[in-house]
Structure 1
Amino acid sequence: MPTIIVMNNATEQMLGQRLNQQQALFAAQAAMRNVWLARPGDVVIATARPDDDFLAYLADVLGWHAQDGSPPLEFVTPEIGADSVVLNDEALLDRDVIRALRRAIGTSDGWSMLACYQTAGTARLQEELGLGASGGQAIARRYAEHFGTDLLNRKSHFRQFAVGTGLPVPEGAIVTDEAGLKRAIDALLPQTGKVMVKLDNGAGGTGNVVLSEGEVGPSPGAFQSILLPVANVDNRAEMVSALWQTLQQRSSGPLVVEAYYPADAMFYLEFVIEPDGRAEFTNSGSIRLRRSTDPAAASLFWVGLELPAALAPARLAEATLHCGRLLQLAAMMGYRGHINIDAIITPAGRLLFNEANARWGGGTVLHEVATRLLGAGFTASHVAASFRDVPSPGFRRLVALLEASGLAFNASNCTGIVVLACDDAHTQTFEALVIAPSSTVARAMERRLLELVHHERGIAA
């Protein structure tokens, strides 16, 4: 069945705010990794079409063979905003986009749609194109049309759903005013010495702030850490007041305040809720972070993910069992599609859930690529580890380095590196995926490529 792939990553619905030009450009380029989700014959709605070199590389890695000289994929890109626009509902429902899609798919019979984030706009677009829906698919479309997906992506709602379904979460509160924020901070600080304040919407930790009375520094899951005055009550009150005002300016609405726990393990579980309401486990992954090379950086550097999550089987089973209740609730409300649930294991061994995201996750593409190359159940014998935001020597040169060094993915031994995305036009960075029989081998291959790229860029400079 051919599919219309909608790469509407990092929309305002996901982040809870209007994006500035720089944020929109970054989001648009980051979304291009998701072209790996497509299959021959699919139509991709994207901010820009990847260049021919990258599409040829993707087809070669996946073993696609064009038939009758026709391109394996067709792209539809909105005119408004060129390649820096995020695919929000306004862009998706542009009349020119709809006309281009109608030309691309011809008859709507047999077509389906796969969107990163299901919005009222994606529901309307399906209706405009005449895509059929029945049963659970029709329920899901109506749910998205009424902004139902937003419920499963807001921090306050996650906490409400988690408490109601019995998921273990950090001690915390939902606050709706400045006074409530001050009370919650004072009440929760004694738990661990730190609290996290979360915007209701904010992907990737972009809306999270950690407060502490002791030593502060870049903290996992937060974009900023703030030292609270201990002795001066007035200064402390002013600081909390300023924080409330700043966060409300970014995205007005409730905030979540939680005791902040250090983590021995940070991981996610991804599921797909099928049209009949059943939740199928798809993958798990560990979150890879490190300190930035910039000592002044306020947040940790996001390296990537490693699938599967490095958890003892009993802990993974425990986490999956807890998720089942939340998934059942999401299905009963009407949601269908990808949903990711984040959690940590504390040094004391506590399992705590942080948030849920009803959309593609960071590991969705990694899982898809590894499954296509190795088959379902690849995690029984291999790991798939990503690393991103690496300075690029240029896409062609990068591929040549992989091939010359023997690091390129080799189907005969099911090991090697795949370039997921390379943005030489704007960020001059790339993201790669290492498929290897162990984490140790994956890290060694990653280090070797980084050395080669560093040497290559030094020569070019």
Structure 2
Amino acid sequence: MSKILLGNILTAELVGAGTRYPSDGLEGIGVCSQRVLWGANDHDIVVLPIAPTREFAEYVTDLTQTDLQSLAFVETPVGYPGRGTVSAECVRNRRFLSQFGELAAEHHVTKITPYYFDQVATAIARAAGVMETTPGFGFADEGGVRMLNSKAHFRAIARAAGVPIADGVVTTDPDHAADYAAQEIAAGRAVIVKQDHQCGGNGNEVLHPLPDAEAIGALTAVCLGSRHEVLWHVAGSWPRYSDGGRERVIVESYIPGCLPVYLELQVDDEGIREFGRGEMLMSPTNDGIAVPGGLANVSGYQAFRTDALRLAETVRSLGYRGFMSVDGMATAAGRVLVNEINVRDGGSTHVHHLAERVLGAAQGGKHMVTKVRHTDHDFSDTLKRIEGGGFGFDLAAKTGVVLTMAVTPSQKFEYTAIGDSAAEAADFATALDEEFPSA
């Protein structure tokens, strides 16, 4: 039996008015969505806004020992906001849905596993006739996934579960938000303002009382001295913060000196399985991951793990099925505050698929660093350049560099450096960073 892999990385439910697309735009996002291929098995249907090149598909399936010829690749019809996204045109295009239903029958698919379970995913599931056999479909069909990915809802769930989170407020009132921010800034503390449905630090802004203060986890930072400045700034920024008044806004105390960490879990009918863990590299927003990275030295890890599993059990009891990431902030004292949950594939999911499929039983002793870099070459030539430099992946030793993403139109690619120690993985990563400029 097979499944449908849907690479809907960018969805209208995850972005708002403040969305900033990468420099290569939507087609770059479409190439990024090809990372779902690391989770493909024989006879699966892979649905993407832009189909992978033959070279990248062969590269991935050779490493995962998947029969490329047995896979079916489907490009979705183009709709707003443009090529590179799995758009709502999939829902409206009856010809696409009809043809997809026929293909699904040929491949005997039993479920859909989308990057994010939105209205497009439910429409494709209906076309394929896998509503009853897709775990958690009813919950997703009623918008449950959107609810759980809300940062505002997360705070309520975490407080109810007794999970430690940063102090803060959730509000629809700009004066309420400004009052809290002004109070913290007057006490010499910074705050971080978060849009409700954003990811990767997009939409976040740090407001702090001192110039040149740390502002990790946000694209922008503003130094504000007086209460008047805070009120004026929040009022002017409210349409952006609230997505035009459509969403609640989260204002939290900003805690400097934290290590961003995550625990990725798989939630299914049988229970909860730990899928991966690591450190999120920030500069100032997400710039890759290290596995296990600094998380291995966090004294409060076991308490964080317990909190993550408690949240996962809550999510599971509501009906969600699929991947889930619990993000935390390890303070200088070692305590881990939970920052948010993401009930979808994350930026680390494909890396842990790689570890499970390619490293197998050896993955527990390996260390990995994943980053995005810039290349002047296509995928094949970039791979040759890495292998020619002596950094290629050694299948026997299971160390070296794997290219985990194809080259985007703006010449970005992603690599995962794998070593037997943190130092070896870091050495591979340093060599790649010297060879290829920052993306």
- TM-score normalised to structure 2 length: 0.91
Q: Tell me: CA distance 1:84–1:217, structure 2 relative to 1, closer, same or farther (3 Å).
A: farther
Q: Distance in 2 between matches of 1:21 and 1:317?
A: 37
Secondary structure of 1:91's match? helix
Report deviation, 1:108. Answer: 6.6
Is residue 368 of structure 1 aligned with residue 368 of structure 2?
A: no
Is residue 7 of structure 1 aligned with residue 7 of structure 2?
A: yes
Q: For structure 1, which runs of at least 5 residues remain unmatched after alignment?
A: 291-299, 455-461
Q: Distance in 1 between matches of 2:76 and 2:129?
A: 20
1:168-210 deviations in Å (ceiling 9; x for gaps):
0111111111111111112333566100111111111112110
Partner of 1:331: 316
Partner of 1:54: 56
Is residue 43 of structure 1 aligned with residue 45 of structure 2?
A: yes
1:141-152 equivalences in 2 (<5 Å): 141-152=137-148
Partner of 2:334: 349
What do you get for the CA RMSD once the two structures are aligned? 2.4
Partner of 1:34: 36
1:412-445 deviations in Å (ceiling 9; x for gaps):
1111111111325x12111011111112111211
1:133-148 equivalences in 2 (<5 Å): 133=132, 137=134, 140-148=136-144
1:57-456 equivalences in 2 (<5 Å): 57-64=59-66, 71-81=69-79, 84-91=83-90, 94-107=93-106, 109-131=108-130, 133=132, 137=134, 140-189=136-185, 193-216=189-212, 219-230=215-226, 233-249=227-243, 252-276=246-270, 278-290=271-283, 300=284, 302-309=286-293, 310-312=295-297, 315-376=300-361, 378-379=363-364, 381-424=365-408, 426-453=409-436
Report deviation, 1:378. Answer: 1.0
Aligned amino acid, residue 53 of structure 1? E
Q: Distance in 1 between matches of 2:222 and 2:147?
A: 29
Q: Is the 8 A contact 1:401 1:452 kept in 2?
A: no
More deviation, 93-102/433-442 = 93-102
Secondary structure of 2:406's match? strand
Q: Tell me: CA distance 1:32–1:196, structure 2 relative to 1, closer, same or farther (3 Å).
A: same
1:300-356 deviations in Å (ceiling 9; x for gaps):
264310122433475222111112222122112111111111101112333211111
Q: Is the 8 A contact 1:17 1:251 kept in 2?
A: no
1:61-107 deviations in Å (ceiling 9; x for gaps):
334456xxxx2422111232497242144435532332332343334
Count residues with an aligned counterpart.
433
Report deviation, 1:249. Answer: 4.3
1:26-54 deviations in Å (ceiling 9; x for gaps):
43232122222212321111011111122
Report deviation, 1:142. Answer: 1.1
More deviation, 170-179/85-94 = 85-94
- TM-score normalised to structure 1 length: 0.87
Q: Is the 8 A contact 2:203 2:219 kept in 1?
A: yes
Partner of 1:458: none
Q: Tell me: CA distance 1:235–1:172, structure 2 relative to 1, closer, same or farther (3 Å).
A: closer
Q: Tell me: CA distance 1:371–1:202, structure 2 relative to 1, closer, same or farther (3 Å).
A: same
Q: Distance in 2 between matches of 1:191 and 1:32?
A: 47
Q: Distance in 1 between matches of 2:99 and 2:141?
A: 23
Q: Is the 8 A contact 2:178 2:230 kept in 1?
A: no
Aligned amino acid, residue 438 of structure 1? S
Q: Distance in 2 between matches of 1:376 and 1:191?
A: 51
Secondary structure of 2:325's match? strand
Report deviation, 1:250. Answer: 5.3
Secondary structure of 1:14's match? coil
Q: Is the 8 A contact 1:28 1:86 kept in 2?
A: yes
More deviation, 347-356/364-373 = 347-356
Q: Distance in 2 between matches of 1:21 and 1:339?
A: 24
Q: Distance in 1 between matches of 2:398 and 2:426?
A: 16
Q: Tell me: CA distance 1:98–1:260, structure 2 relative to 1, closer, same or farther (3 Å).
A: same
1:358-416 deviations in Å (ceiling 9; x for gaps):
0001111001112111114612x101210114334322211111222221111111111
